[in-house]
Structure 1
């Protein structure tokens, strides 16, 4: 009697443990079902918990059964859930790791479990799953004495492979997982490793005779899942999958908490700012930026998320970044933190600069082109007029330039243009606006310069050019003819009028024999 009482107590303990596993899984299923819109991969996890619940409760009813017929019935029901739980668990792990599983791949994972269910349901006809299936007499516990069939081996290998693959995949990500996410990773590893190890011990006969311990240990793994879900929000944020995306982004990202302390950053920003280190996590953005640059963070964060431009030098190369601030809010609207996204726009910026340069500067001589000269000269003229200061322009061209092109070729002609610009730039100060006016013609705007001042500058340019011939196939003499005009006739003098006057003076220099400076004085141009 005492022996039977002990057996009954032991059986009750087993049934209780298995039932607790089932209850835990029902709780998980309901929780995920309620929160399914917030949880990535919720459908897979719901199916997983349903499969484990069916497995656990069916096994519990099987333990409580008295006849072989009842045991067989509950075994068939048990296999509605058990063979499907392993591939479903593998799919959860793949989703956690950020791997996409197509419908065709998912269907392939359930081929063997489906065949297993069919084999168990029809085992009495073919014996491919159990060769023998009977309750051993003389014991109070429903000790099942079974002889496994061929398909049982296939099923066991497949189930173990799914559990082993899931465990191996999780272990492979151990080093890449941040410390804050490792408790979740450990939970998932236990969820795969504990059932796999227990099943192995059961198969080699190291567990109580006739008792499958896997449904019982599931209460441990299910409890771990409940803890991870409720305390660490394991399912609402899939950290490894999100971490994979986070670290694979081309844009640099800095995560700030509600107090603007550095919370996290991805690999891209670590490449952009190599001095950034994990030791800086927990410090404010201003403190981090001061250590990195010697100055406080330069931008004021605006709620509208306006982009700012940052110039950063890495390995001696200047890089341009577009910095975008995005506040993170909780569901109740309170600020939870922010994301700083650094988008490398260096190539775009350089292209923009190149286009601007092409729009502003002459491609051959790299001085201002005609359109920029006119735009800037108008502003200078207006400023001088407002101040009551004189304003003059000098227009000149290279004498007999066509002959140089015809005799030496256009390449030498281009060299001559560049040579003229280099000589003139050495004679001009930065406040003098120098541009290529067209062809072999150049122009200089001289704010705050009188007509006599402008003529003196023009003469200096003429002498410098005459004294420095171009070294090409010997020596090519360079002379130029100059025309000078001043805007002192009154407030109504326009820039185009001034340029026309300088052009008339230039042609006067040409008529008078070239290589000279002529000034526009009223209707006549004369030498100074």
Structure 2
């Protein structure tokens, strides 16, 4: 008896024999086949399009950088990095559109003409842009791993250090390579991430001491560096569709940020970089304040004027930041231009404070730039010119004009505070005879010797000058007639003892003196200082004439002072 299962199989077999169903084979011209191919190619088309656009953008940026800012700090390495990125993008686009494993391996080899060197060019770009100096040997060492990666990848069939295996994925709708990662692949990956991390660190270091505009440049560039990292991590985690390496795709996206840095925020423009370098290397100190007098920036030269400045004080009020320099703080807060002397007597400097307003786009004042112009050299030169203008070239004493000016100033001061004053006038006896006998050089040496004697005897507050020829005048503040005569006598005695050797001959001279005093009560009268000085000099000249009449080499006091002095002595005797 035949079972039910055998019967059913027999019936199905007979039906198939009696009514055969034709096998349908789809060809490339069939719409169903074409639709399936389109559905499979759509994701690939999107990825390839994005990568090609990124490659063209990076190539455009490489050419633009080469023409516009290759000599800017970091510019040449940006050109190389953009060029490497474009080669990588085009190579990977052709890899994705390849039909065979051999074609894929060829384009991977093309990609590795750029991929090993992209990290080092990026790092050198950021380091140079940030102003960090690297020695030539350090730069050469950075190329060691990229060169080894290039060699090891292209000779992988001999040792399999980079890829342990290369094949096609079985689960992908189009040819996608499946790579077994070898030990040197891990070295390259670590080197890649290390270079990117150091690049971001270099930019962040520069960012902390840069203005807002430069921070935007570096933020855009740092964002561009982080985008490929995210794509590569996504790929390494096995999350990318069909196992497509999304690194080149994300590199294409990263150049959107790079283009923002270059075009929107003017990265690598020579002008802003030059302005920043000029700011940091200015010899004059500069403070940048906002409208509330809060410090927002300063340059290196400012540290010489206020050593306590540091980046932690940014955002603090100016009077707090400059607390160690109250002179500067007060002038900055007041906003007034002025000259200040800073430092000690030996190492002091003079600075001129200059204020320049900062205005926003609407023309409103939003802050100020305070420049501390070092005017020490100018002030010292002015002092020297003034000294030369007031000094007698031969003796080093005041000349006639400076002598009278200083004496009149002293008389005005004495009239305000009370006190007496005296004037001593003297000349060298028979000075013409010295010139005629021994020559003018001998006469000059005599005058210079007399000037040295005067300097050694007078007090610091006294004023001494050469009035003309061999005549000298001394203005002695707060000095009575007796004291003035005593000081004149000391000078006379020293001049008489002076011996000038001229060609083996000893030249000796004497001097005659006239002394006049202006008592305190006379100074209290509302008499102009120039009148008082003229009166004193006229009286001293008369006393000098009296010394000449009495035989020279003596000190004579003006007659009124003599009578006054004698009367005072008689009153004391009574």
- Report the TM-score when normalising by structure 2: 0.57
How many Å separate the matches in 2 of 1:509 and 1:369?
A: 31
Partner of 2:426 in structure 1?
A: 395
- In the superposition, relative to structure 1, how do residues 222 and 465 fare at CA in structure 2: closer, same or farther (>3 Å)? same
Partners of 1:370 and 1:435 within 8 A in 2: no
- On the 8 A contact 1:25/1:53 being kept in 2, the answer is yes
Which residue of structure 2 aligns with residue 158 of structure 1?
191
Q: Which residue of 2 aligns with 1:461?
A: 484
Check the 8 A contact 1:458/1:517 in 2, yes or no: no
Find the aligned partners of 2:135 and 2:274 in 1 and give their Cα distance.
16
Following the alignment from structure 1 to structure 2, what is the Cα–Cα distance between the partners of residues 238 and 208?
45
Shift of 1:237: 4.2
Can you list the C-alpha shifts for 1:312-339, whole angstroms capped at 9, x where unaligned? 668999741368999xxxxxxxxxxx99
What are the equivalent positions in structure 2 for 1:247-396 lying under 5 Å apart? 247=280, 249-253=282-286, 266=299, 268-269=301-302, 272=305, 292=332, 294=334, 297=337, 310-311=339-340, 319-321=349-351, 342-346=372-376, 348=377, 371-373=395-397, 375-376=399-400, 380=404, 394-395=425-426
Aligned residues of 2:76 and 2:125 also touching (Cα < 8 A): no
Residue 144 (1) aligns with residue 144 (2)? no
> TM-score normalised to the size of structure 1?
0.62
Between the aligned partners of 1:376 and 1:293, the Cα distance in structure 2 is 45
Q: Secondary structure of 2:395's match?
A: helix
Distance in 2 between the 1:110 and 1:463 partners? 89
Q: Are 1:484 and 2:514 matched, yes or no?
A: yes
| From 455, 458, 463, the counterpart of 1:421 | 458
Structure 1 CA distance for aligned equivalents of residues 349 and 136 of structure 2: 44
Matches of 2:173 and 2:549, distance apart in 1: 125
Query: Which residue of 439, 462, 473 maps to 1:444?
Result: 473
Task: After TM superposition, give the deviation of residue 250 of structure 1 in Å.
Answer: 4.3
Between 231-240 and 193-202, report the one with greater CA deviation.
Answer: 231-240
In structure 2, relative to structure 1, the CA distance for the partners of 1:28 and 1:9 (3 Å cut) is same
Offset of residue 222 of structure 1: 0.4
Distance 1:214 1:37, change over 3 A: closer
**1:266-318 residue CA offsets vs partner (Å, 9 max, x unmatched):** 3534874899997999xxxxxxx9983757657xxxxxxxxxxx436689997
CA contact (8 A) 2:62 2:83 kept: yes
1:229-253 CA-partner distances (Å, limit 9, x unpaired) = 1122111148689647633644224
1:265/1:504 CA distance change after superposition, 3 Å: farther
Aligned mates of 1:167, 1:238 — CA distance in 2:
23
Larger C-alpha radius of gyration, 1 or 2?
A: 2
Q: Is the 8 A contact 1:434 1:442 kept in 2?
A: no
Structure 2 residue aligned with 1:71, among 98, 104, 112?
Answer: 104
- Shifted more, 156-165 versus 31-40: the winner is 31-40
- Give the corresponding residue for 2:25: none
Q: In the alignment, what sits opposite 2:556? A: 517
Q: Is the 8 Å Cα contact of residues 53 and 252 (structure 2) preserved in structure 1?
A: yes
Relative distance call for 1:190 and 1:355 in structure 2 (3 A) is same
Distance 2:65 2:279 in 1: 25
**Contact (CA 8 Å) 2:218, 2:261: kept in 1 or not?**
no
* Structure 2 gap ranges (5+): 1-32, 290-294, 319-328, 357-367, 409-422, 429-452, 490-510, 517-536, 560-565, 567-574
Q: How many residues align?
A: 412
Distance 1:254 1:421, change over 3 A: same
**Is the CA contact 1:459–1:517 (under 8 Å) kept in the aligned structure 2?**
no
Q: 1:193 to 1:312 in 2, by over 3 A?
A: farther
The 8 Å contact of residues 168 and 175 in structure 2, kept in 1 or not, is answered as yes
1:183 offset after TM fit, Å? 1.6
Which secondary structure does the structure 2 equivalent of 1:83 belong to?
A: coil
8 Å contact from structure 1 (residues 95, 241) kept in 2: no
The aligned counterpart of 1:119 is: 152
1:62 aligned to which of 95, 116, 137:
95
TM-superposed deviation, 1:185: 1.6
User: By how many angstroms is 1:6 displaced?
Assistant: 3.1
